[in-house]
Structure 1
Amino acid sequence: MKTSDFHYELPPELIAQLPAAERSASRLLHVGSELRDLRMTQLPDLLRAGDLLVFNDTRVLKARLQGRKDTGGRVEILVERVLGEREMRAQLGVSKTPKPGAFLHVDGEAGRLEVLGRDESFFHLRLEGDGTLHELLERAGRLPLPPYIRHDPDADDAERYQTVFAREPGAVAAPTAGLHFDTPLLAALEHRGVRTATLTLHVGAGTFQPVRVDDLSEHRMHAERYRIGQDLATRIADTRAVGGRIVAVGTTSVRALESAAEADGSLRVGEGETRIFITPGYRFRAVDALVTNFHLPESTLLMLVSAFGGIERMRAAYRHAVEQRYRFFSYGDAMLIEPSA
């Protein structure tokens, strides 16, 4: 398949710049036997008692730092992964690439970062002096809003670009399908008999990288860390036993579940890294339905949902969403995709 097979035209004004007034006030496009225009608050009506919603509980870091090189030149640092209390992998926005042994200065001497080396587009940095990287990020970092959101992050973003169940710090982008869930909606789902569980997948900066080849067989996915707990594995087994469905909330949950799935759909418990690249033709082993946002043209996430929902069905769904003026991307509206018969 070709990257160009996943192109669609999107009017720029449909890219959501702000979240909905309330988390669950978003629209919901139900992709089932037909396309139905609904509201997120109607999701419980589409699910059944015994179904299991699987959320990603990663928490977004204040991963964007502004600093200067030893020479005085400005540098922007986007943390891709924290490697412990004092080291990280990061992308650097800088006019001239620093060499190993150079220092970057963030927040005065409290944020002196040594360049240890480089691996492709990522730099290995180490914090000198007292304190930890998490402390530095909380003190001097900014929320890394996606590049298509054109305003600087503010106090509203600090709340709304995190899910209500975010627990484990480590992501540089939110698992955005989870942004639609709030306490009233979770209560309505519980009243319906729908259960919930969590996993952790730390979304990396590579999620925003474009596919730079047209032949998909030549694309190499970025690696992301994930963790599957025993509680989730048990809940999935129990759900299967009573005929319930596994409903992944977001493509990050899909990637973690499918990376840990055995041939029979059971899960391997533990931590790992995944470079799974899901394209049409992939056989899903762990996921029965998917709640997701609308994704960028020619992105790996659009390829994943096309693999799940079918290429032609998703083309029709996206055409419909554009015609009906749905809001797109991270702060946009949602879909519930059920596999075609």
Structure 2
Amino acid sequence: MQHPKHLSIADFNYELPDERIAKYPLAERDASKLLVYQYGDIKTHTYAHIAHYLPAKSMLVFNNTKMVEARLLFTKATGGAIEIFCLEPDVRYSDITTAMLTTQTVYWRCLIGGVKKWKSGSVLEKTIEHGSSTIVLQAKLIEKLSDCYLVQLHWNTNDSFAEVLHWAGLIPLPPYLHRQAEVSDNERYQTIYAKHDGSVAAPTAGLHFTERVLHSLTAKAITQQYVTLHVGAGTFKPV
């Protein structure tokens, strides 16, 4: 076997036709295919049977991060479209939870689609109707950073930034899906145990787990523990 230091990233390239990439999930999460390597043999099964292949009294660690609706679409007064992709809070916040719970004004590091059409200091505005409330969300381009932009986001209510994103934004789907986010993605592109807001990409390894699968793990005395590790947009970047 070749030593890892002699491997080239090109060794991991392979053909993956677009038609082999599912644009939508299966009706049942745990009906997704499971690739199993055991005793020198490779076979396929479904996630519904994953407990069968795990040793009793072992432990699985799950990431309970929750995806946020990090894509904000604005339309300029002239009709031009601007997309703000919220990556992470500015360094002035001690942690992402603090930033997500902030009200009225936040500063966020963002990627911006159509940034050449947006002058620094100018304000974009978006109105969101939620129940009996009307939220006016404003975005102001503050400065260009090394690999993204600093944006000030301000709104006229005492709702948290997490709530504003939920009502105003879209779930970021992987670019290889080649489709726009839909309402169903708010539920199906989250794990069933998602708890803490912060990810802009899904922890995809957990999307196939269901309550039925978790119960089957418990029945085999497989302990379930949780950590929170927010997934950033770097997961989409080339290696």
Query: TM bucket by the smaller chain?
Result: 0.7 to 0.9
Secondary structure (helix, strand or coil) at the match of 2:125 reads strand
Q: CA RMSD in A?
A: 2.0
Residues in 2 aligned to 1:38 and 1:77: alpha-carbon distance in whole angstroms: 40
Paired residue for 1:87? 107
Summarize deviations over 1:110-164 as a string: whole Å, max 9, x none: 1111222222231111123434432321221111111122333223222110100
State how many pairs are aligned. 211
Query: Which of 209, 219, 224 is residue 191 of structure 1 equivalent to?
Result: 219
Q: For 1:20, which of 19, 26, 35 is the aligned residue?
A: 26
Give 2:207's aligned residue: 179
What is the match of residue 105 of structure 1?
Answer: 125
Q: Are 1:125 and 2:151 matched, yes or no?
A: yes
Q: Specify every segment of 5 or more residues in structure 2 that has no aligned partner in the other structure, as ranges.
A: 1-6, 91-98, 129-134
The 5 A counterparts of 1:199-278 are: 199-211=227-239
Moved over 6 A (4+): none
| Corresponding residue for residue 11 of structure 2 | 5
The structure in which a higher percent of residues are helix is 1
Q: Quick one: percent identity of the two aligned structures?
A: 38
Q: Higher strand share goes to which structure?
A: 2
SS in 2 for 1:114: strand
Length-normalised TM-score, structure 1: 0.58
Q: TM-score, normalised by structure 2?
A: 0.81
Query: Is 2:49–2:213's contact at 8 Å kept on the other side of the alignment?
Result: no
Q: Provide the C-alpha distance between the structure 2 equivalents of 1:167 and 1:60, rounded to a whole number of angstroms.
A: 9
Q: What is aligned with 1:48?
A: 55
Task: Tell me the distance in 1 between the aligned counterparts of 2:153 and 2:182.
Answer: 26
Measure how far apart 1:65 and its partner are: 1.1
Match of 1:75 in 2: 82
Is the Cα–Cα contact under 8 Å of residues 56 and 200 in structure 1 kept in the other structure?
Answer: yes
Deviation readout 1:200-259 (Å, 9 max, x if unpaired): 111111211223xxxxxxxxxxxxxxxxxxxxxxxxxxxxxxxxxxxxxxxxxxxxxxxx
Could you tell me which residue of structure 2 aligns to residue 257 of structure 1?
none
